[in-house]
Chain A
Amino acid sequence: MPSLKDLRNRIASVKATQKITKAMQMVAAAKLRRAQDAAEAARPYAERMGEVLANLAVAFEGRDDAPKLMAGTGKDDVHLLVVATAERGLCGGFNSNIAKLARERAKTLIAQGKTVKILCVGKKGYDSLKRDLGEHVIKTIELRGVKNVGFDNADEIGREVLSMFDAGEFDVCTLFYSEFKSVISQVPSALQLIPAHFESSEGEAGGAAAIYEYEPDEAEILADLLPRNISIQVFRALLENSASEQGARMSAMDNATRNAGEMIDKLTISYNRQRQAQITTELIEIISGAEAL
């Protein structure tokens, strides 16, 4: 049985914890807004890019001279998994969900006899993957000092991936990140970057593409845009990720604050009970002492 003093101390410490989680929740809420705005602002660019690429890609569908980034290397022996996670923990299942998805994919690929290489973006993903897939991780990019993810950060990662592709270090590249559905729902997803494939747009878009005039020609534009597209996709994933992270942290901290509240209530009840019991015992002692006289 803990003494009254112990109980008092515990209540005080849980209260302090509750204050911290509450503050973290509010910070996450504020950051979430900003992250959501950033994700929204980036959407028009990515969408237009997708449309244009889809238009161009139709012309190259199935052709032998299609760029490698689109057609692939013709093999799928070496897979590169780019795992984008957060730099910090305390955000519920956010990091572990992404890592889990990536790990499952890596395991199936290895079981199929493929070579797997992993590029970690964000420290937490590496932390959870290094235990069982440590020897597959070829590089970790940390965005620790970066407050707001800018296009430059994404571009750097995009270039890294591209230079590895050009050097023939992998055949297929898949990006793992968490899609932001809502504050309470983030879905870990996988997106194939290389070879790129586009959702074929409706028939009318194909018709419009036919009368387009290109300068320089289509092949050159496509060759110019495909590498850019990689950076754009990485950028979009990073933004989705940061919104998801804040959302996950917000709900995790909300839960933690509520749990702390419940704990305080329980501790207070047992503290009061024990205090009463102590008073009763003291009274009985006094009364029985008086009666004995």
Chain B
Amino acid sequence: MADTFQFELVSPERLLLSEQVLEVVVPGTEGEFGVLKNHSPFMSTIKPGILKVRKDGNAWDEYFVRGGFADAGPNGLTILAERATPVSEISADDLAQQIKNAEEDVTDAKDDEARQRASMQLSQLKDVAAALKAA
């Protein structure tokens, strides 16, 4: 496999994934981006969304990630996410709870900037929930 690169998915609690992969699609704050081997040094924050990983062939592994950043470089791609769960393990209840928390954040926000940020989080979470329901 000539075209693989080292990919690491790290949450504060544990190292979720550390292996050679073909391609990763990351939900960046300013849009999704794909990472292949030898990506130029690049750093981006991530929004709540689905992270897709292709190890070989055309099978994609999906992870739900939230809050953090991606760091691509010559040594591969590292994603630091505050929360990262394989999509198969995520439950609708859990997501609903997170949406509820986000809604509370919106109402609790003290100034416009915080409110805007909170409502952005909320809408992104809702997107994810909708995408998961459709799948």
Interfacial residues, chain A to chain B (CB-CB below 8 A): 38, 41-42, 44-46, 48-49, 52, 150-151, 154-155, 208, 211-216, 220-221, 224-225, 228, 232, 235
Contacts and interface: CB of A to CB of B under 8 A. Distances in A.
Given A41-B15, A52-B71, A151 B41 contact: no
A221 B42 CA distance: 12
Q: What's the dominant secondary structure at chain B's contact region?
A: strand
A37 to B, nearest CB: 9
Nearest to A166: B110
B83 to A, nearest CB: 8
Contacts, number: 71
B41 A213 contact: yes
Contact of B78 (A48, A154, A225): A48
B133 interface: no
Interface of B: 8, 10-15, 28-30, 40-45, 67-69, 71, 73, 78, 80, 82
Given A38-B13, A221-B43, 6 more contacts: A46-B12, A48-B78, A52-B69, A212-B41, A215-B43, A216-B29
B45 A151 contact: no
Contacts of A41: 13-15
Nearest to A43: B15
A46 B13 CA distance: 10
A213 B42 contact: yes
A86 B11 CA distance: 25
Contacts of A208: 41, 73
Contacts of B43: 52, 212-215, 221
